[in-house]
Amino acid sequence: MKPVPAETYLENLNWRYATKKFDATKKIPDAQWKALEQAMVLAPSSYGLQPLKFVVVTDAAVRAKLKAAAWNQPQVTEASHVVVFCRLLNPSAADVDAYMARIAE
């Protein structure tokens, strides 16, 4: 694998921005969403245990409750997908065993 030139990743980082308004009529295509989900699953953690889960919230009523808990930010109800990242506070030996079994698999 070739190293990515510094200019490339700096250019990409300079482009990023926080989206403040979404078009609620537009949805991320399924194939693209599947790739994004896979990227989230494969994202490493500092411990290498990936002690997190993510929940994709699609229910409008739940998203409305989340919006209230998120200082009424409209993105929560307008975005195509809402992902809630949940981290495991105290990984147990069973969590480590499950992780090792996944690696072996």
| pLDDT (0 to 100) of residue 56 | 94
Helix (H) or strand (E) holding 38: helix 30-42
Structure tokens at 13: 């980082």
E strands, 26-80, are 52-57
Structure tokens at 68: 């209230």
| pLDDT (0 to 100) of residue 17 | 79
Q: What is the mean pLDDT of residues 99-104?
A: 82
Give per-residue pLDDT as tens, 10-66. 988 888 778 889 999 999 999 999 999 998 888 877 666 667 788 999 899 999 999
| pLDDT (0 to 100) of residue 105 | 81
